[in-house]
Amino acid sequence: MSEQNLSWLDEARALIGHEYGKVYAWDAVNQPMVRQWCEAMGVDNALYLDGVSAKARFGANVAPPTMLQVWVLAGLNGRFPEGSATDNPYEVLQIIERNGYPSVVAVNSEQSYRRYLKEGEKIAFTSQIESVSEEKTTGLGTGFFVTQLLNFYDEADALVGQMRFRLFKFRAPERARPADKPRRPLPGISDENRFFWDGLKDRKLKIQRCTACNTLRHPPGPACPDCHSLASDSVEVSGRGRIYSYSVVHHPTLPGVPQPNPVGLIELTEGVRVVAGLVDVDPAHIEIGREVEVDYLECADELVIPVFRPVGGA
C-alpha cells in the first residue's frame, strides 16, 4: 500500500469511535406493527399476539426482539423525526468509496437485547464505527470490513439493546465489461446437455458418449441412436476436425452475430459432427474438407459458445 493510500485510510480511521446520533423512532412500539411483522414472518408466538401472555409476564404487550431496528428506520421518505441528529454516520464508507471501493455487502448482523420492548415506548439510537479492517481480498473483491455499533436507548436513556453490523466495502476484480462481449441467444440448458455448456466455460469441448457401446453422439439426447441404451457420460474431444459442410446465413440478422454469418458442420477427428460458427474465414471462399480447430467465444451473460477457425490461418 502506498503512502498516498495511507493518508485517506488514516482519515477514515480517525472517525472510529465518534458517536453519531441520537436518532429517534417515528412510532412508539405498537401492536399493529407487531402483528403485521408477525404475519409477514410467519411468527405465531402467543407472547406477541394473544394480548394476555405478555401482560402476565411483563405487565404490557411486548415486541419481538428482532424488531429492534425496525422501530428506528427512516422509512419511505428517508427522513427521521424532528429532534433527531442530522450528522452522517456513513462518512467512513463514503471516504472508502471515494478511494475506489464502490460496492458494499452486509456480512454480519449481531443483535443483543437487554430487555423486551413494551407497547408505548419510543426508542432512539446512536451509532459509531467500531473498526475498519486492513485491506482484504475475498471472493467478492478487495476492500475493507467496516464494523458499526448501534446502541438503542429507551426514553430514560437506558440501554435496551445493541447491534453490531459489519459491511464489506469493496471493489470487484477487473473483468472485461459485459458490453465488450457479443450478446447471443441463450441456449436451452437441461440436465441432458448441461455438461456441454459447462465444459465450454472451462474451454473444453465435451461430447456425449454411450456407456454401453462407446458411440459418441451430438447434440446430446436421451438415447443412443446405435444401441438405444439410455446410459451415457461425456468425454473431452480434441476440438480438431474438418468442414464437412457449411452454410452462410444472410438473413435474419441478429444483434451480436456477424453478418453474413458463416456456419459450419464440422466433422471432428473423433467422427461426430458439430454445428458451430466459423471464424477467420472469408464467407465467399469456404472450403469443404478444410482442417479446423475449436475456439471458445465468450459472450454476454457468462455464455461461452464453440466456434471453429481454420488451422494455420484462413
Partner 1 sequence: MSAQGISFESIQVGEALPALEIPVSVELIVSGAIATRDFFPGHHDPEAARKLGSRHIFMNILTSNGLVERYVGGWAGPEALIGEVKIRLGAPNYPGDIMTMTGEVSAKDEAARALTVQLRGSNSMGEHVSGQVTLLFAEGAMA
Binding site for partner 1 (CB under 8 A): 33, 36-37, 39-47, 53, 57-58, 64-67, 69-70, 73, 75-76, 105-116
In angstroms, give the least distance from the CB of 111 to partner 1. Answer: 5
Taking the least distance from each CB to partner 1, the nearer of 75 and 313 is: 75
262: exposed, middle or buried (Cβ count in 10 Å: 0-12, 13-18, 19+):
buried
In angstroms, give the least distance from the CB of 179 to partner 1. Answer: 14
Taking the least distance from each CB to partner 1, the nearer of 67 and 305 is: 67
Q: How many CA atoms lie within 13 A of 273 on its CB side?
A: 9
Taking the least distance from each CB to partner 1, the nearer of 81 and 260 is: 81
In angstroms, give the least distance from the CB of 85 to partner 1. Answer: 19
Q: Which residues pair with 163 in a beta bridge?
A: 111, 150
Three-state SS for 200?
A: helix
In angstroms, give the least distance from the CB of 5 to partner 1. Answer: 27
Q: Which residues pair with 145 in a beta bridge?
A: 168
State how far the Cα of 28 lies from the Cα of 156, in Å rounded to an integer: 14
Give the residue carrying C-alpha cell 426514553. 155
Taking the least distance from each CB to partner 1, the nearer of 55 and 273 is: 55
Give the residue carrying C-alpha cell 452486509. 106
State how far the Cα of 301 lies from the Cα of 303, in Å rounded to an integer: 5
In angstroms, give the least distance from the CB of 141 to partner 1. Answer: 13
Taking the least distance from each CB to partner 1, the nearer of 61 and 232 is: 61
Q: Work out the angle between the directed axes of helices 91-98 and 3-13 (0-180°, nearest 10).
A: 170
In angstroms, give the least distance from the CB of 71 to partner 1. Answer: 8
Taking the least distance from each CB to partner 1, the nearer of 3 and 174 is: 174
State how far the Cα of 273 lies from the Cα of 241, in Å rounded to an integer: 9
